[in-house]
Copies of this chain bind each other. A is one copy, B any other.
Amino acid sequence: MIKLKPIFAIAVLFFATSLVKADDGYRLWLRYVPVEDSKLMNEYRSQFTSVAISGNSETVSAIKNEIKIGLSGLLDKEVEISSTFKNQGLLIVTSSSEHKSLGISEETERLGNEGYLIIEKKINGKNTIIVASKTDIGALYGTFHFLRLVQTQQSFGKINIEESPKTTHRLLNHWDNLDRTVERGYAGFSIWDWHTLPDYIDQRYIDYARANASIGINGTVLTNVNANALILTPEYLIKVKALADAFRPYGLKVYLTARFSAPVEIGGLTTADPLDASVAAWWKSKIDEIYSMIPDFGGFLVKANSEGQPGPQNYGRNHADGANMLSTAVAHHGGVVMWRAFVYDNNVPDDRAKQAYNEFKPLDKRFNENIFVQVKNGAIDFQPREPFHPLFGALEHTPIMMEFQITQEYLGCATHLVYLAPLFKECLESDTYAKGKGSTVGKVIDGSLHNHTISGMAGVANIGNDRNWTGHPFGQANWFAFGRLAWNHNLSSEQIADEWLRMTFTNNEKFLKVVEPMMLNSRETAVNYMTPLGLHHQMARNHHWGPGPWVNVGRPDWTSPYYHRADSVGLGFNRSSTGSNAVAQYFPEVSDKFNSVKTCPEEFLLWFHHVPWNYSMKSGRSLWNELCYNYYSGADAVTQMQTNWQKVEKMIDNEQFNQVKQLLAIQAKEAVWWRNSMLLYFQQFSKQPIPNNYEQPDKTLEYYENLKFHFVPGIKGE
């Protein structure tokens, strides 16, 4: 027996949080951790530990599973699920006879095939929360809504919720290649592991479907719009079928991209002319084959005659000819065709912004009724800010599918915190004046403005095989926000942020008070340090990650100067009536406003006007000084985000805290990179100093121009 001297001076370390498992973000907003508020926890426990769910479809199994893992997790207590109603506190019901008994038949009918209600009713003297719907899928959506209410610590007294989606087609677009690279993907690689399909069903596929169902997404286009015809071969179709089978219980339909030249590439034909009978027959046969395997196949998304993709114009036909041929073959199966309006002439146009409108407006009456024209929110390409696309409102006879980009191609990839709901909302709330005041883009795409029976919203996914799905933890918020807005575009950015933060991090009000404003301002911040005042298309070539105002070789409408038009006089693209007259594509109320440098909102000023460097802005600053002000404000705001984030360190999981902290440091560095590059570049034309109250750039323009990068994610290796 020996006695050790007490030589170690440091005091006892006690790891108070040692049993808190680090959160890697895999569970997304479906974390189902125990309710934090102890009073509410007691209320929920007394109400919800026993649940009645009838039915035995695969979707009902999914509901039971979600109640099992969700409610048991939230209540930190095993929940008993019964298919017999015995006065449990929660009843989930899809049977029409039960609806009749409960006196809610009218409501469930009215809310349709995806709608549901959540109400409180006294049954046998006991307050019962009822989730009721016409269909099992409606009940699944209602179940997720119910769980969200518990996750966000809502009260259930006198609850009376009626929900049904505003659009019929709520889709993710995966730009996933068959080799598992993802075009503009920044969260690792494709979650579709084609090699092990169809035999291996990764748990991630199920969790993907759960996450989508939880926010009402009901379709997914599995493959890149820059399409590979191989996906249509039997070897791949059995893999697609396996995914469709895995997703079906969650109401998630699969769609594919159709390579227009597939009849030649895999069909052995010598032409893909849509008016050629053998081509139409080949597609019909191929489509029948798909539906024989996947009876609820959703249809096709097509990028044709754009950026090198083949299309009907290769054969002297137009977009309607191509789309109609395909749509005829899917129509009797209930499928749709989504034909993208993002097209390029082979010839360089005077103004690329005008091109989609010029191409599609004349075809408005030519499309079959199961065709969407899928239009990006703006006329260029997912910029930090664009005015709404002039096709919204302009097409009356053709339903428009909105295409938003959830993945941050032009917004810092996966290392910048940019909450996109304000960007989506800005577009959705824009007034087209197509049928007078109040003709918002939202009403165009939900079909109400022009009375379409199909309507929809697509989001280019930011999902990859990173452990947390989206690379940046806050990228999850953009997937979530897209789904919530596709369901109901009237939701506010604030409400969505509040829901997501509570579900993903904590209901701690102190946390929310710091982080919610940070999220809500983050998109404006990014605009400021990247492309303020209507600037656009100023990114580096190919990877689009950093700044590249100097990019000036190759096709003119793929260069930066084509868009910024900087010269000794001023800055900006004159799209007014004295310039390209792109403004004329809008309805008069909008056109007039944009056309005048006086009435044009300053956030779009350089989009529509070439403005002198010394033009006096509303702030009283000159254009040049305003530009400096915006860039510095943007970069400073990121520093402020870092300071704010530091305040929440003890309020959330340490791994999540550290992830965001590290990413904000990258964002701060890159915001300065953007700011300095852009200002030093434009300074060559303005010949004016950066006001000396600002920290001056410590690198030269030449330094920034000469930065070289390799293997930037989201494009094929360079």
| Chain A positions near chain B (C-beta within 8 angstroms) | 1-16, 18-19, 22, 24, 26, 52, 54, 56, 64, 68-69, 72-73, 78-86, 95, 97-98, 101-103, 121-125, 178-180, 188-189, 194-196, 199-201, 203-204, 230, 235, 413-415, 465-467, 655, 658-659, 662-663, 665-666, 669, 708, 710-713, 717
The interface residues of chain B lying within 8 Å CB-to-CB of A199 are 662, 665-666, 669
Q: Is the CB of A200 within 8 A of B123?
A: no
Report, nearest first, the 6 A-B pairs whose CB atoms are least far apart. A179-B717, A8-B83, A10-B83, A12-B82, A8-B84, A18-B72
Contact of A6 among B22, B64, B85, B713 (CB under 8 A): B85
With known contacts A68-B18, A189-B180, A204–B467 Cβ distance under 8 A:
yes
Q: Is the CB of A200 within 8 A of B666?
A: yes
List 20 A-B pairs, Cβ < 8 Å: A2-B103, A2-B121, A3-B101, A3-B124, A6-B84, A10-B83, A12-B83, A15-B78, A19-B72, A178-B711, A179-B717, A188-B465, A199-B666, A199-B669, A200-B415, A200-B663, A203-B659, A204-B467, A235-B708, A235-B710
The interface residues of chain B lying within 8 Å CB-to-CB of A669 are 199
With known contacts A24-B26, A204-B467, A467-B204, A68–B15 Cβ distance under 8 A:
yes
* CA–CA, A78 and B180, complex, Å: 43
Contact of A56 among B10, B122, B655 (CB under 8 A): B10
* Shortest distance from the beta carbon of A35 to any chain B beta carbon, whole Å: 15
Q: Which residue of B lies closest to A196 (CB)?
A: B415
* CA–CA, A4 and B95, complex, Å: 12
Q: Which residue of B lies closest to A80 (CB)?
A: B14
* CA–CA, A467 and B466, complex, Å: 8
* CA–CA, A14 and B414, complex, Å: 42
Q: Is the CB of B2 within 8 A of A666?
A: no
Contact of A662 among B79, B125, B200, B235 (CB under 8 A): B200
* CA–CA, A68 and B18, complex, Å: 6
* CA–CA, A10 and B85, complex, Å: 11
Contact of A230 among B103, B235, B663, B710 (CB under 8 A): B710
In the complex this chain forms, how many copies of it are found? 2
* Shortest distance from the beta carbon of A224 to any chain B beta carbon, whole Å: 13
* Shortest distance from the beta carbon of A353 to any chain B beta carbon, whole Å: 31
With known contacts A10-B83, A196-B415, A655–B15 Cβ distance under 8 A:
no
The interface residues of chain B lying within 8 Å CB-to-CB of A26 are 24, 467
The interface residues of chain B lying within 8 Å CB-to-CB of A10 are 56, 83-84
* Shortest distance from the beta carbon of A503 to any chain B beta carbon, whole Å: 18
With known contacts A80-B14, A203-B655, A662-B201, A7–B194 Cβ distance under 8 A:
no
With known contacts A12-B84, A18-B69, A81-B15, A24–B195 Cβ distance under 8 A:
no
* CA–CA, A666 and B180, complex, Å: 20
Q: Is the CB of A97 within 8 A of B15?
A: no
Q: Is the CB of A711 within 8 A of B195?
A: yes
* Shortest distance from the beta carbon of A256 to any chain B beta carbon, whole Å: 16
* CA–CA, A517 and B415, complex, Å: 47
Q: Is the CB of B78 within 8 A of A24?
A: no
Q: Is the CB of A4 within 8 A of B188?
A: no
With known contacts A78-B19, A712-B195, A123–B4 Cβ distance under 8 A:
yes
Q: Which residue of B lies closest to A19 (CB)?
A: B72
Q: Is the CB of B12 within 8 A of A80?
A: yes
Q: Is the CB of A710 within 8 A of B178?
A: yes
The interface residues of chain B lying within 8 Å CB-to-CB of A178 are 710-711
* Shortest distance from the beta carbon of A538 to any chain B beta carbon, whole Å: 21
The interface residues of chain B lying within 8 Å CB-to-CB of A1 are 122-125
With known contacts A4-B101, A200-B663, A711–B194 Cβ distance under 8 A:
yes
The interface residues of chain B lying within 8 Å CB-to-CB of A121 are 2
Q: Is the CB of A15 within 8 A of B84?
A: no
Q: Is the CB of B8 within 8 A of A54?
A: yes
The interface residues of chain B lying within 8 Å CB-to-CB of A14 are 78, 80-81
* Shortest distance from the beta carbon of A92 to any chain B beta carbon, whole Å: 11
Q: Which residue of B lies closest to A5 (CB)?
A: B101
* CA–CA, A135 and B339, complex, Å: 66
With known contacts A79-B18, A81-B13, A180–B711 Cβ distance under 8 A:
yes
Given contacts A3-B123, A200-B659, A200-B663, 12 further A-B contacts (CB under 8 A): A1-B125, A12-B82, A13-B81, A13-B82, A14-B78, A15-B78, A18-B68, A196-B414, A196-B666, A199-B665, A203-B659, A465-B466
* CA–CA, A288 and B63, complex, Å: 62
* CA–CA, A414 and B95, complex, Å: 46
Q: Which residue of B lies closest to A13 (CB)?
A: B81
The interface residues of chain B lying within 8 Å CB-to-CB of A708 are 235
* Shortest distance from the beta carbon of A59 to any chain B beta carbon, whole Å: 16
* CA–CA, A665 and B199, complex, Å: 8
Point out which of A178, A194, A708, A711 has the most chain B C-beta atoms below 10 A from its C-beta.
Answer: A711
* CA–CA, A86 and B415, complex, Å: 47
The interface residues of chain B lying within 8 Å CB-to-CB of A717 are 179
* CA–CA, A124 and B2, complex, Å: 6
* Shortest distance from the beta carbon of A66 to any chain B beta carbon, whole Å: 12
* CA–CA, A174 and B508, complex, Å: 43
Q: Which residue of B lies closest to A65 (CB)?
A: B15
Point out which of A8, A189, A194, A717 has the most chain B C-beta atoms below 10 A from its C-beta.
Answer: A8
* CA–CA, A466 and B662, complex, Å: 23
The interface residues of chain B lying within 8 Å CB-to-CB of A125 are 1
Q: Is the CB of B179 within 8 A of A22?
A: no
* CA–CA, A82 and B124, complex, Å: 59
* CA–CA, A200 and B658, complex, Å: 9
Contact of A13 among B2, B64, B69 (CB under 8 A): B64
* CA–CA, A121 and B151, complex, Å: 51
Q: Is the CB of B201 within 8 A of A98?
A: no
Q: Is the CB of A8 within 8 A of B85?
A: yes
The interface residues of chain B lying within 8 Å CB-to-CB of A467 are 26, 204, 467
Q: Which residue of B lies closest to A200 (CB)?
A: B662
Point out which of A79, A102, A204, A467 has the most chain B C-beta atoms below 10 A from its C-beta.
Answer: A467
